[in-house]
Amino acid sequence: MATQSKKKKPAAKTKAKTKATKKGSQKPLVGVIYASTTDEPVMKECGFILERFGISFETSMFSAHRQPEKTAAYAKSARKRGLKVLVAGAGMAAHLPGVLASMTTLPVVGVPLCGSALEGQDALFSMVQMPAGVPVPTLAVGKAGAKNAALLAVQMLALSDPSLVRKLDDLKKRMEGGEKL
Ligand code: AIR
**What ligand 1 atom has the least distance to the C-alpha of 13?**
17
In a domain, 105, yes or no: yes
Range of the domain at 49: 14-176
Q: Parallel, antiparallel, or unpaired for β 108-113 and 30-34?
A: unpaired
Helix (H, G, I), strand (E, B) or coil at 96: helix
Question: How many structural domains compose the chain?
Answer: 1
Query: Whole-angstrom Cα distance, residue 56 to residue 48?
Result: 11
Which DSSP category does 18 fall into? E
Cα(137) to centroid(ligand 1), Å: 20
Using a 6 Å cutoff on CB, does residue 122 contact ligand 1?
A: no
Confidence (pTM): 0.90
In a domain, 6, yes or no: no
Q: Whose CA is nearest to atom 3 of ligand 1?
A: 63
Q: Whose CA is nearest to atom 17 of ligand 1?
A: 36
CB contact at 8 A, 100 and 71: yes
CB contact at 8 A, 181 and 175: yes
In a domain, 95, yes or no: yes
In a domain, 110, yes or no: yes
Cα(177) to centroid(ligand 1), Å: 38
pLDDT at 152: 98
The strand ranges marked E within 28-126 are: 30-34, 57-61, 85-91, 108-113
Using one digit for the tens of pLDDT, what is the confidence trace for 125-174?
A: 999 999 999 999 999 999 999 999 999 999 999 999 999 999 999 999 99
With a CB cutoff of 8 Å and minimum separation 6, the contacts of 63 are 14, 16, 35, 36, 71, 90, 96
In a domain, 8, yes or no: no
Using a 6 Å cutoff on CB, does residue 137 contact ligand 1?
A: no
Q: For residue 57, what is the domain's CATH number?
A: 3.40.50.1970
**What ligand 1 atom has the least distance to the C-alpha of 39?**
13
Query: Whole-angstrom Cα distance, residue 54 to residue 67?
Result: 30
In a domain, 1, yes or no: no
In a domain, 93, yes or no: yes
Using a 6 Å cutoff on CB, does residue 38 contact ligand 1?
A: yes
The CA angle 78-166-31, to the nearest 5 degrees, is 15
Q: Spell out, as residue ranges, where the chain has pLDDT lower than 50.
A: 1-6, 8-14, 18-21, 23-24
In a domain, 135, yes or no: yes
CB contact at 8 A, 26 and 100: no
Using a 6 Å cutoff on CB, does residue 65 contact ligand 1?
A: yes
The CA angle 34-92-28, to the nearest 5 degrees, is 15
